Structure 1
Amino acid sequence: MAKLDDPGLFGRQWAAAYDSPGNPDPAPAVDFLAGLAGAGPVLELAIGSGRVALPLAARGIPVEGIEASPEMVELLRGKPGGDSVPVTVADMADVPVNGTYPLVYLVFNTLFNLTVTGRQEDCLHNVARVLAPGGRFVVEAFVPDEAKFDQEEREVQVRSVTEDAVTVRMHRYDRAAQTFVRQTITFTDGGVRLQPFGMRYQWPEQIDAMAAAAGLELEARYATWQRDEFGPESTDHISVYRKPS
């Protein structure tokens, strides 16, 4: 297995700093998802540290999760209410849970973390398997922008500079494969630390095609969790897929 194909890699590398300031406010996503959840239970793929799941559960909606990283699950367990959320430690593409759900969701571009060819398709087929008839699958993802890719490849992003360390970030895109590798490099007088990360990105219509192949129908698409209209200039999308009744 290539390093970037390991589903637990992200959590092992980033769990320690994952809940640092600067993450998106989960409140709009929680409001949106609560409106689709009904009485639950709902399933979050790549539940992480519970940034969305815990405030959703606090509204009385039963939430379950799948997470490949035990380090992320440990973060979740350390938060108020974290012990009451059932989490299966596994590759989210397999959706290895039983039962049916009125809502399955996946936020913050995490679908693209499945870098092995065919695994995104596997994920959608398995989501369709566990969705109740009429249930929804919600995906939050960025809209690929090749001009931004060009810019990121040309520049070295300086992440931090202190008297003890320097951290920089660089990108390399494979446009034919629709993948990228991002390398975060920290230099100290004790050595060099590499933190690689990769994605296999898709345009919205490509996700639509994967969903259709899994038997799901696009019900709605928005530019934000506040349901702003999606258009040609939108940089992100919230797509709602429905399993026919």
Structure 2
Amino acid sequence: MIDQQSLWDAEAARNYDTPGEGAFAEGVLGPAVRVLAELAGEGQAVEFAIGTGRVAIPLAEAGVDVSGIELSHAMVARLREKADERRIPVVQGDMTTTSAGTGFTLAYLVYNTIANLLTQDEQVECFRNAARHLAPGGRFVIELWVPQLRALAPGRGGTVEVSQPGYLLVDTYDPLHQQVISHHVRFGPDLADGREARIERTPHRYIWPSELDLMARLAGFEREHRWADWNRTEFTADSPSHVTVYRLAAPSM
């Protein structure tokens, strides 16, 4: 059993925030916020795994009433340094069962975070929990990477995803169980503790797009859109990730 609180601790929360760079760059964050604001309309939004507020804070600044669910105490503490409970209310707990209310027009789960749920059953329950939060016709948006198994050389179990000064990301795959371990290696003289290198590992269960669609159907959703990115680029067989919009079907009369 993985201790999620230890995995997403104060150091992870601190390293997650990179204002103006990486996932916080305007070219990355801006299109996401614009799409989510459009989908929320005049209603309320709930973010599953709200983290430190990377998306929720600018979405609230765009005029959307945002609530959140977050498991990590450290992530919530970091969020509270930037936005108080009145501005962005957060319920601490697991996104498969925890409730932040009902009647939302939009639920969203971004940045590959559904893969942090390590079993298929948990991932299905996440969809069902999203359905419980939404009003009929409400939407659930997921941003997720496409497993790059074609990049695995014969006899090799891993891929180098990022190689840049001071940082190396290596993903190792277990195709039998659809498990990926991301190895984050940070190195160089800038490490605060003086070490030459530090390695962190995060586990994931990868999901094929078609499997994700079936999970959605089990929870009463219909797929409305699938794009390669937040700019609504066409999704193709070569797309490394996708943004998928599901709509909760209205109850039958």
TM-score grouping bracket, smaller chain normalisation: 0.7 to 0.9
Residue pairs, 1:1-245, within 5 angstroms:
1-3=1-3, 6=4, 9-20=7-18, 21-24=21-24, 25-79=28-82, 84-150=87-153, 153=158, 169-185=169-185, 194-245=199-250
Separation in 1 of the partners of 2:161 and 2:99? 39
Query: Greater CA deviation, 71-80 or 215-224?
Result: 71-80
Distance 1:207 1:10, change over 3 A: same
- Structure 2 residue ranges without an equivalent (≥5): 188-192
Task: Give yes or no for contact 1:92–1:123 (8 Å, CA) kept in 2.
Answer: yes
Secondary structure of the residue aligned to 1:94 is: coil
Query: Greater CA deviation, 60-69 or 140-149?
Result: 140-149
Separation in 2 of the partners of 1:19 and 1:152? 30
Deviations 1:54-94 (A, max 9, x none): 11111221100011112111221112567610011111122
Secondary structure of the residue aligned to 2:8 is: helix
Give the Å deviation of 1:14: 1.3
Task: Give yes or no for contact 1:12–1:69 (8 Å, CA) kept in 2.
Answer: no
Secondary structure of the residue aligned to 1:237 is: strand
Separation in 1 of the partners of 2:161 and 2:240? 22
Task: Give yes or no for contact 2:159–2:172 (8 Å, CA) kept in 1.
Answer: no
Provide the TM-score with structure 1 as the length reference.
0.86
Give the Å deviation of 1:177: 0.9
Separation in 2 of the partners of 1:232 and 1:173? 20
Task: Give yes or no for contact 1:102–1:135 (8 Å, CA) kept in 2.
Answer: yes
Give the Å deviation of 1:129: 1.4
Give the Å deviation of 1:17: 1.1
Deviations 1:164-188 (A, max 9, x none): xxx7554321001111112335687
Distance 1:98 1:82, change over 3 A: closer
Distance 1:146 1:76, change over 3 A: same
Q: Give me the identity figure in percent.
A: 39
Task: Give yes or no for contact 1:186–1:194 (8 Å, CA) kept in 2.
Answer: yes
Count of matched residue positions in the alignment of Structure 1 and Structure 2: 238
Separation in 1 of the partners of 2:51 and 2:121? 23
Secondary structure of the residue aligned to 2:35 is: helix
The corresponding residue for 2:190 is none
Provide the TM-score with structure 2 as the length reference.
0.83
Separation in 2 of the partners of 1:222 and 1:190? 41
Separation in 1 of the partners of 2:91 and 2:201? 25
Deviations 1:187-214 (A, max 9, x none): 8776985522011011111000000011
Separation in 2 of the partners of 1:140 and 1:73? 21
Give the Å deviation of 1:49: 1.1
